[in-house]
Amino acid sequence: MVDICPSHNARGFTPRVILALLLLCLILLWSSSLATATSCPAGYFDSGNIEHPCYECSVGHYCPGDGHSYECANGTISNQIGLSTCLTCASQRTNSDHTVCLLPDTPQDAREFSLKHVLEIDNHNPYLYTTLRFSEIGESNPFQYIQLTFLNSRAAPMLVYASTVTGQPSPQQSFQYFASGLNATIAVPNPRGRSIGVILYLHVVSLNARKSAMLVQPYNYLDLIYTLQPGSNFIQTSSELALYSVDNEVLLTYPKIPPNANVELQISAREGFNDKISFVLCYSSKIPQRFPNYYNSDTFITSSYKENASALLRTNFGNDGGYLAVALIFKQTFWNGKINVDFKIMSK
């Protein structure tokens, strides 16, 4: 390497040449130090940002240490940030963003779909899958449940079989979750330890038509399920309903209402710091729903807005009786809240 920087033996150079060589030497030294400073280790990539030169590799990608980020190849995943290599799936198949492996028994013609997008249901090809995410990376309060409501554009009843442990749920094989009818809804609990998400596999059949368009609407804010007892019920909430800027939901249930019974629920709620609150009561009287929400209910009662918010629901059941499910949706954080429910079942 040629030493271009002036030294003690720089005789014969004019002062102007010596000054130019000194400036060139300083520029080379500065460039070398900058390149060294922005060299990122494996698991990181060069951001081009002087203040934050290295960014951690995102999920679905790997950063081998050459300053670049690459998408995982087919059949491999990156399920946490900061990986330098991708992990190979036993099934050689993944979801589209390369974060979760497909189960080995997933049918080859199973279709991936995105939530909140219109989906064409074909009874000849009923297997589907989607990725559920219960929190963003780094969030301390994940969703407790994710509800999926299947809204059919042709008002056709649906049969929905779902599972996270088999790629082909069906009545002939096995399934974990089931819903039927119009606006069929399932609720999937948070599988602890899978912050990046979980794949939900579905077998969906339209009862009235071979093909049908459907919107799968997610609702993420079911936090607490409480089984009522006739009489007075007292519910104390804590961190379950501490999510900020989102809905927080309590689901009230009763397993078996007798035939031809009238039901009354007098509900009052108070927030732990005595702030004014309100809630919306959701109930489906025409089409029974085990997980009522904004998308599948036909009865909505908004409580008063004050320190002690309250609402009253009266309904009746027919000859078959049935399952009671009432959702209370709070539009604000409900930390250390108290809910009182006076629950009555009366014969007609």
The tens digit of pLDDT for each residue in 133-169 reads 887 655 666 778 899 999 877 777 889 999 999 999 9
pLDDT for 78 beyond 70: yes
pLDDT of residue 249: 87
- What is the band of 187 on the pLDDT scale with cuts at 50, 70, 90? very high
Q: Which CATH architecture has domain 111-219?
A: Sandwich (2.60)
Tell me which DSSP letter residue 142 carries.
-
Distance CA 306, CA 295 (A): 26
Q: Do domains 38-92 and 111-219 have the same CATH topology?
A: no
Q: Is the pLDDT of residue 246 over 70?
A: no
Q: Has residue 85 got a pLDDT over 80?
A: yes
Question: Which range, of 10-19, 89-98, 129-138, averages the lowest pLDDT?
Answer: 10-19
> Mean pLDDT across the stretch 230-234?
97
Q: Where are the domains of the chain?
A: 1-37, 38-92, 111-219, 222-347
Amino acid making up residue 298: D
Q: Is residue 1 scored above 50 in pLDDT?
A: no
The DSSP result for 179-243, as a single string, is EEETTEEEEEE--TT-TT-EEEEEEEEESS-SEEEEEEEEE--EEEEEE--SEEEEEE--GGG--
Q: How confident is the model at residue 286 (pLDDT cuts 50, 70, 90)?
A: confident
When pLDDT is averaged across residues 201-215 and rounded to a whole number, the result is 84
Q: Which CATH number fits domain 38-92: 2.60.40.1930, 3.40.50.460, 2.10.50.10, 1.20.1440.230?
A: 2.10.50.10
| Contact of 295 with 219, CB cutoff 8 Å | yes
The model's pLDDT over 287-339, given as tens digits with 9 standing for 90+, comes to: 889 999 999 999 999 998 888 999 999 999 999 899 999 999 987 666 678 89
Q: Where are the alpha helices (DSSP H) in the chain?
A: 15-37
Whether 26 shows a pLDDT value over 80: the answer reads: no
- Fold (topology level) of 222-347: Jelly Rolls (2.60.120)
- Tokens 């991708």 identify what position? 86
Q: The pTM is what?
A: 0.80
- Whether 119 has a pLDDT exceeding 90, the answer reads no
**pLDDT greater than 50 at residue 284:** yes
d(CA 49, CA 41): 16
Please check the confidence at residue 282 and state whether its pLDDT lies above 90. Answer: yes
Q: Is the pLDDT of residue 51 over 60?
A: yes
Backbone conformation region of residue 336, classed left if phi is above 0, alpha if psi is from -120 to 50, else beta: left
**34 pLDDT above the threshold of 60:** no
pLDDT score, position 159: 92
What pLDDT was estimated at residue 243?
54
Instruction: Tell me the average pLDDT of the chain.
Output: 85
pLDDT of residue 37: 45
